[in-house]
Amino acid sequence: MPEIPVVKIETLDDLKKVLFIQRQITRKAHDELEAVASDNILDADPDPSKVKRFMKEEADLLASYAMRPTLTEWAQQGGLTQSGLYEGASTWGATFGVAILTGELILEQIRQMHPPLSAAVKGVFLSLLSAETQARQELDDEELENVIMKFNVAKPDGSPIEDEEIREKIRTSLADMVQTIIATGLEYGLFEERDAGSHVITEIGIRVLLHMQDVMKFVTIMAEAHQRFQNEAPALTDSLAEPPTRRKRRLNPKK
């Protein structure tokens, strides 16, 4: 059975409508995050209890979006035509809120701590969430190593690095980044601490993964839609690109 697309883009109006809603929800989530920050201004040496309250409010905001239906879940129930742009737990497009909140609260923090590996942060993050979701328990050392080994240790041009010492340093850096992801995930409710320093992925963590997977599907569909409409309407594109005087002469050929 073919997979149901997370959103159907059949006309140019569909494309405009979806992009509008995406922008609105993304902006709303960003503004809500800014409001949390403005309500919790911290000084240079903040009280730990204030920091804890601040981060809890950020985590609660992320959870509020993550627990809403994903784009795939909406598609299975009829998609955008069934919903529209409403407030509340059933809002279509909560995935866009999860994307910006995850990016600003978690991914950006990890990139700042591991700048040489910033390009790999999102991929490692999603791979770790996926592996822990499948296991539904903490990954052992071998399983964590498997997550790390999924990423090719290569030069910027894609050619392999032959120096084993350099390769090992990169793997060590990736392992350190995985530990940072786990620590950050614990702070924002994606993981839950267990005895002896162990952890397990939470329902919020699983929901964040599902939303982020739908983001990638959405990006693919939107890219295909943009390309399709460009191919179908080259004359319109050319017309819009012309200087106003030239367009005027086309509209008034007798002048």
User: 128-163, pLDDT tens digit by residue?
Assistant: 999 888 876 666 666 666 666 666 556 666 676 777
Check: CB of residue 97 under 8 Å from CB of residue 23: no
> What tokens appear for 66 in the block?
């993550």
For the chain, percent of residues with pLDDT exceeding 70 = 73
181-209: pLDDT as tens digits: 999 999 999 999 887 777 889 999 999 99
Question: In the predicted model, what is the mean pLDDT of the chain?
Answer: 80
79-112: pLDDT as tens digits: 655 444 444 445 788 999 999 999 999 999 999 9
43-57: pLDDT as tens digits: 666 777 888 888 999
Check: CB of residue 30 under 8 Å from CB of residue 24: no
218-239: pLDDT as tens digits: 999 999 988 888 876 554 444 4
Q: What is the structure's pLDDT at 62?
A: 97
> What tokens appear for 217 in the block?
């599907």
HSE, CB side, 13 Å, CA atoms: give it for residue 198.
11
What distance in Å separates the CA atoms of residue 93 and residue 96, rounded to the nearest whole number?
6
Q: What is the structure's pLDDT at 54?
A: 87
| 240 pLDDT tier (thresholds 50, 70, 90) | very low
Phi, psi of 167 (to 5 degrees): -60, -40
The residue extents of the domains of the chain are 12-222
> What tokens appear for 137 in the block?
């328990």
167-187: pLDDT as tens digits: 788 888 888 999 999 999 999
Phi, psi of 154 (to 5 degrees): -145, 170
pTM of the predicted structure, to 2 decimals: 0.79
Q: How far from 50 is each of 4, 41, 184, CA to CA, in Å? A: 45, 9, 18
**Contacts of 150 by beta carbon, 8 Å cutoff, 6+ apart:** 127
Task: Report the candidate in 108, 103, 113 with the shortest Cα–Cα distance to residue 176.
Answer: 113
